[in-house]
Amino acid sequence: MSAQVAVVGFGYVGSCVGAVLASKKYQVTGIDPSEKVVSSINSGTAAINEPGLGDLVAQAVADGHLTATSSFDPVKEADVVIVTVGTPMDDAGEPDTTQVSQACRQVAQNLQPGQLVVLKSTVPPGTTEGIAQPILEESGLQAGKDFFLAFCPERLAEGRALHELQVLPVVVGGVDQESTTRAGDFWEEALGLPTVRVSDARTAELSKLADNWWIDLSIAMGNELAQLSDKLNVDVLEVIEAANSLPKGRHHVNILTPSMGVGGSCLTKDPWFVHHMAEEHGLSLRLPSAGRAINDEMPGYTYSLISDGLAKADKPIETAKVSVLGVAFKNNTGDVRLTPTRDLIALLEGSGAHLSVFDPWVDPSEFSYVTSVEPCDNLAEAIEDADCVAFLTGHDDFKRLEIAELAELTAPGCLIVDGRMYFSRAQIEEMEQLGLRYRGIGR
């Protein structure tokens, strides 16, 4: 395949999409304003920490199928232009589409007849037709006639992105039928996957928000079920496993597992996109904000597990050493964007507890977003003589730690707080036999 692809925005989504397309022998140019990102890619190094991405980037660069630049000139030579820039929330919780507008304006200055433009940034419904299309048509070219424009939501879960890019069906919705057809054909040819071709771009845009709204709500249900399970002295994981065995509709009940909080750039903002969009249309939806409120309260709930657990052992939190393992928002990633650990650490810092923090996946320069505490160099240093070890991500690195070693390194009677490790009953029993005390979310 000799088609040329320009990927505008080479952050998390752009890097993964670009590297996978390059591995399929497409000629990919990543366009990003960050010279650090550009230099990293051109040297054959991934700018983000995602399993398998480093090897894929290195191979694609070595093969000559992937390059990066801060210039938009390569758009002129591209057959397909994919826009993957960020759409953060502003201070009022409203979607900020500034980066989309800026990227489309730069693309418009280089747009050529016959090109396919695909928007993959998560946006409020109407953005493709209401923002991207008018800006791109400032080029003098008409969408659906001179060039083709479609929305195709990214559906990636960090830690599994490269796998999911090559197995999940691709949703496509264009500003006209020909745009939908061309975008669908491109993804089917590029990835060999079926496409879900919906009526228009607006439907495709809302489908992405619906996915993340559902995920956030299901986690919220798991979190409230966990709190009830605590009161009833039952194991929420056992409850969920039993409940999820019930067939319902075309699938099974699927309550997601609870945790110490929800983070990242999608689940924390997309329900609010839905909420504000509904308000603009005179609707007052209750579920988006309810799910967000429940999940936002989980760092505080986890703090109460720590403080109460220490108090019951006559170890006041004000003088205790608390080891925080994991500051990324998700297992086996180094992403700290909107990580709930930040809120929990702020509560711990306010209590006066002596903190140690460690996360082998997070770049040391990123720790300052989460805490001013200097990260430990290794796991043993972090948990040495700790009165409480709070596992806030379930990194594989932590799962390789033997329970016996955990008991040996920590203070006698150390409290183990399970925010996302989901220790088995056998592991919990071993902890108790070795004098450790266990508390989990709903366990």
336 C-beta neighbours (distance < 10 Å), count: 23
Q: How confident is the model at residue 2 (pLDDT cuts 50, 70, 90)?
A: low
pLDDT at 328: 95
Question: Residue type for 384, please?
Answer: E
Residue 142 has pLDDT above 60, yes or no: yes
What CATH number should be reported for the domain whose range is 297-440?
A: 3.40.50.720
Q: How far apart are CA 76 and CA 164, in angstroms?
A: 30
How much is the pLDDT for 194?
Answer: 92
% of the chain beyond a pLDDT of 70: 100
The one-letter amino acid at 174: G
- From 113, 84, 80, select the one nearest 100 (Cα to Cα): 84
Q: Using one digit for the tens of pLDDT, what is the confidence trace for 213-267? A: 999 999 999 999 999 999 999 999 999 999 999 999 999 999 999 999 999 888 8
* 265 to 88, 206, 346, 371: CA distances (angstroms): 7, 17, 20, 19
Q: What are the helix (H) ranges across 168-200?
A: 177-191
Q: Report the chain's mean pLDDT, rounded to a whole number.
A: 95
Residue 131 pLDDT class (50, 70, 90 cuts): very high
- Which residue spans of the chain are classified as CATH 3.40.50.720? 4-199, 208-295, 297-440
Q: The tokens 């923090």 sit on which residue?
A: 357
Span 21-53, pLDDT tens digits: 999 999 999 999 999 999 999 999 998 888 899
Token pair, residue 52, equals 């398998």
Q: Are 254 and 244 in contact (CB under 8 A)?
A: yes
Please check whether residue 271 is in contact with residue 291, taking contact to mean a CB–CB distance below 8 angstroms: yes
Query: What is the pLDDT, as a whole number, of residue 46?
Result: 93
Domain at 4-199, CATH from 3.90.1010.10, 3.40.50.720, 3.40.50.620, 1.10.940.10 = 3.40.50.720
**pLDDT for the residue numbered 91:** 75
Output the CATH code of domain 208-295. 3.40.50.720
Kindly state the average pLDDT of the residues 383-399: 97
Mean pLDDT, residues 141-151: 98
Residue 112's pLDDT is what? 98
pLDDT band at 94; cut points 50, 70, 90 = confident
Gap between the Cα atoms of 10 and 34, Å rounded:
9
Q: Is the pLDDT of residue 169 over 60?
A: yes
Average pLDDT over residues 113-128: 96
- pLDDT bucket at 352, cuts 50 / 70 / 90: very high
Q: So what's the pLDDT on residue 49?
A: 82
CA dihedral sign, ordered 100, 104, 105, 110: positive
Q: What is the pLDDT of residue 387?
A: 98
C-beta atoms surrounding 254 within 10 Å: 12
